[in-house]
A and B are shown apart, each in its own frame.
Chain A
Amino acid sequence: DTEVTQTPKHLVMGMTNKKSLKCEQHMGHRAMYWYKQKAKKPPELMFVYSYEKLSINESVPSRFSPECPNSSLLNLHLHALQPEDSALYLCASSPQGGGGFTDTQYFGPGTRLTVL
């Protein structure tokens, strides 16, 4: 089973709202990732959690706040977003987070976010 689930599928929010994206995996993976993807572009890495600790933050604005409550769950808290933050947000997981062949990343279906 290589399933990563994400909720919600679609989210529309105003610039003053606070919302959260959720990602879950039950593959026993110890690394989880958030990516942002604009239309017809490759995913851009935002954050990496390895063994529930934040290991990479790609200089993402503070209006995006990740949280990893346990090894199966990853949240992305959103606050005071801008219209340019509208994008597909993808979550992924991998066995370890240290790279390499066995650390293949498996992606969820994404959340389509629209900021008005």
Chain B
Amino acid sequence: AQTVTQSQPEMSVQEAETVTLSCTYDTSESNYYLFWYKQPPSRQMILVIRQEAYKQQNATENRFSVNFQKAAKSFSLKISDSQLGDTAMYFCAFMEPYGGATNKLIFGTGTLLAVQP
């Protein structure tokens, strides 16, 4: 079964600095999809970025980028120029491709990021 591991329960970063959140996963599939969601104290789960495993190019969305290392089964999230509004719980998630055994999102346990002024 697929598993997702986030080894950093909590992290802290100064405003305007860069921070990297780690995520590793385990799967025997060759094609799959990876996501980072953030959940601020307001509770809403917001999609941050997504990556297709068959694409070697790392996804980027404004200040958010990923370092996808397929062989190492690693999918880290880099937040540049951190802002106070980035304070949130960040969840890494995995999904099989269409028609896979399951269409479920498999979540990691989350990393609570605090951006300090």
Q: A interface vs B, CB < 8 Å?
A: 2, 40-43, 45, 48, 56, 88, 90, 92, 96-110, 112
B89 touches A40 (CB 8 A): yes
Contact A99 B103, CB 8 Å, known A40-B110, A42-B109, A104-B35:
yes
A104 touches B107 (CB 8 A): no
> What are 16 of the A-B contact pairs (CB < 8 Å)?
A40-B110, A42-B91, A42-B107, A48-B103, A92-B45, A98-B98, A99-B96, A99-B97, A99-B102, A100-B98, A101-B50, A101-B97, A102-B98, A104-B50, A107-B44, A109-B43
B110 touches A109 (CB 8 A): no
A45 touches B45 (CB 8 A): no
CB distance from B25 to the nearest CB of A (A): 14
Q: A56 vs B103: C-alpha distance in the bound complex, in angstroms?
A: 9
Q: A28 vs B44: C-alpha distance in the bound complex, in angstroms?
A: 20
Number of chain B residues whose Cβ lies closer than 8 Å to a Cβ of chain A = 28
A43 touches B107 (CB 8 A): yes
Q: A88 vs B43: C-alpha distance in the bound complex, in angstroms?
A: 8
Q: A45 vs B99: C-alpha distance in the bound complex, in angstroms?
A: 18
Q: Enumerate chain B residues within 8 angstroms of A42, measured Cβ to Cβ.
A: 91, 107-110
Q: A99 vs B35: C-alpha distance in the bound complex, in angstroms?
A: 13
Interface centre among A2, A43, A56, A100 (most CB of B within 10 A): A100
Q: A94 vs B110: C-alpha distance in the bound complex, in angstroms?
A: 22
B99 touches A99 (CB 8 A): yes
Q: Enumerate chain A residues within 8 angstroms of B95, measured Cβ to Cβ.
A: 99-100, 103
Contact A97 B43, CB 8 Å, known A42-B91, A42-B110:
no
Q: Enumerate chain B residues within 8 angstroms of A88, measured Cβ to Cβ.
A: 43
**B52: interface (CB < 8 Å):** yes
Q: A110 vs B37: C-alpha distance in the bound complex, in angstroms?
A: 15
User: 8 closest A-B pairs (Cβ-Cβ)?
Assistant: A99-B103, A42-B107, A100-B98, A107-B45, A109-B44, A98-B98, A101-B33, A100-B97
A99 touches B44 (CB 8 A): no
A6 and chain B: residue at smallest CB distance: B44
Contact flags (1/0) for B96-117 with A, using CB distance below 8 Å?
1111101111011110100000
